[in-house]
Amino acid sequence: MDANKSAPQLNVLVIDAGGSFVEECRKALEGEKCEIVVAGSCKEGLLSAETDQPGVVILDLETNDISEFKMLGNLGEIAPDSVPIVVSRNATVNVAVDSMKLGAFDFLVRPVNPKKLLESVRQALNYSAMQREGQSSEQRADKHDLLLEGLDVFGEAYSIGLEKREFLDELGRLESAAQSHAESLGQVKTKEEAIAEIHNDLLDADAIMWKYDFQKNALIQILLDVQEQFRWLPRHILNWISGRLNIPLSDIYVIANFYEAFSLEPRGRHSIQVCTGTACHVRGASELLMKISATLGIEAGQTDSSQEFTLETVNCIGCCALAPVVQIDSQYYRNPSKEQFEKIIKSLKDEEALV
């Protein structure tokens, strides 16, 4: 398709609050048969879009603040056939994903690659023209794909292992996961906050998988790292890993259930592990466990309601000379009395209060 032929009469509106982007834009679109209209603020841009109904609106995200995103949302109402392209200097995955979800056709990182911008603008103009002609829903579905193509800007971050169409489904799932994740942690969060958090989680999970070259056989090592970093294996991360490594989720759950190191429930911020190795057992580990469990008011395997402590037993931590021994975070204690134990717990609580 030739963008120049099919959409010669449409304008390109550039919203450039910072004033530095217009030049980049002009250079990239040099020789194109389209007029460039410049707006210096979001408000100005909206006004112009309403009267002008341009083919393409290029929005330079200067501040990443709400007004810019709002403008993106409003645009869809006042100029439904103007196709938005978002560029940004401080691109994060969150910003990109939010933009795409608000209907951005493409997302480019500044300084933009002129060729890419040109291509993107041509496609967008073309698309805008098609829309004006009242296109069938089949082609609308096309928009979906094109939208998602924009995500490639982030390196392959979101495209390895996941079919693009699945990506939007995934986002939908993530939203509900975010909600329940926040609720399970007993935290009150707005949906946006929860989603942002989940996106960050996924980035972290990606960083872990990078370390192992996205190798399938490194799954256990990857899960160990996730467990270490998050203190449990949240469902949204397992979903994510499943997609990335192309391993069925059920297989991942088999592994997560089999090995003792993994927890499928959130653990407390501090771990209390009573060693039940043989040496500890003959020197009174079960009594120690009972004492600690009665003091904390939770059983082995449980986490207290404030997510502070998780009490567990562990097969042997190899400190047999100190038997019976309890490991609290990375410290080992030899058979603490009730009073000593209470003191340790209190100092951990105090520390936390300070932070």
Site residues for other proteins per CB under 8 A: 216-221, 223-224, 254-255, 258-262, 276-279, 281-284, 286-287, 290-291, 294-295, 314-323, 325, 331-334, 337-339
**Minimum CB distance to other proteins smaller for 187 or for 215:** 215
**Minimum CB distance to other proteins smaller for 41 or for 295:** 295
For the CB of residue 126, give the shortest distance to other proteins in the complex, in Å: 46
**Minimum CB distance to other proteins smaller for 128 or for 335:** 335
**Minimum CB distance to other proteins smaller for 146 or for 220:** 220
Q: Where are the alpha helices (DSSP H) in 158-296?
A: 164-184, 191-211, 219-230, 235-245, 249-258, 278-282, 285-296
Q: In whole angstroms, give the CA distance from residue 116 to residue 216.
A: 33
Could you tell me if 243 and 276 are in contact, meaning their C-beta atoms sit under 8 angstroms apart? no
For the CB of residue 284, give the shortest distance to other proteins in the complex, in Å: 7
**Minimum CB distance to other proteins smaller for 194 or for 325:** 325
For the CB of residue 203, give the shortest distance to other proteins in the complex, in Å: 23
Q: In whole angstroms, give the CA distance from residue 209 to residue 256.
A: 17
All residues at 6 or more sequence positions from 29 whose CB lies less than 8 Å from its CB, including other chains: 12, 36, 117, 118, 121
Amino acid letter, 179? Q
Nearest to 202 by CA among 251, 265, 157, 257: 157
For the CB of residue 336, give the shortest distance to other proteins in the complex, in Å: 11
**Minimum CB distance to other proteins smaller for 109 or for 320:** 320
Q: In whole angstroms, give the CA distance from residue 18 to residue 13.
A: 15
Burial 244-278 (b: 16+ CB within 10 A, else e): bbebeeeebbeebeeeeebbeebbbebbbbbbbbe
Q: In whole angstroms, give the CA distance from residue 275 to residue 286.
A: 9
Q: In whole angstroms, give the CA distance from residue 256 to residue 222.
A: 11
Paired with 108 in beta bridges are 87
**Minimum CB distance to other proteins smaller for 269 or for 281:** 281
Nearest to 194 by CA among 225, 147, 236, 152: 236
For the CB of residue 72, give the shortest distance to other proteins in the complex, in Å: 43
For the CB of residue 178, give the shortest distance to other proteins in the complex, in Å: 27
Could you tell me if 259 and 229 are in contact, meaning their C-beta atoms sit under 8 angstroms apart? no
**Minimum CB distance to other proteins smaller for 173 or for 283:** 283
Report helix, strand or coil for 17. Answer: coil
For the CB of residue 202, give the shortest distance to other proteins in the complex, in Å: 21
CA 316 from centre of chain:
37
Tokens found for residue 139: 């082609």
- What is the enclosing helix (H) or strand (E) of 25? helix 21-28
**Minimum CB distance to other proteins smaller for 66 or for 258:** 258
For the CB of residue 266, give the shortest distance to other proteins in the complex, in Å: 19
For the CB of residue 286, give the shortest distance to other proteins in the complex, in Å: 8
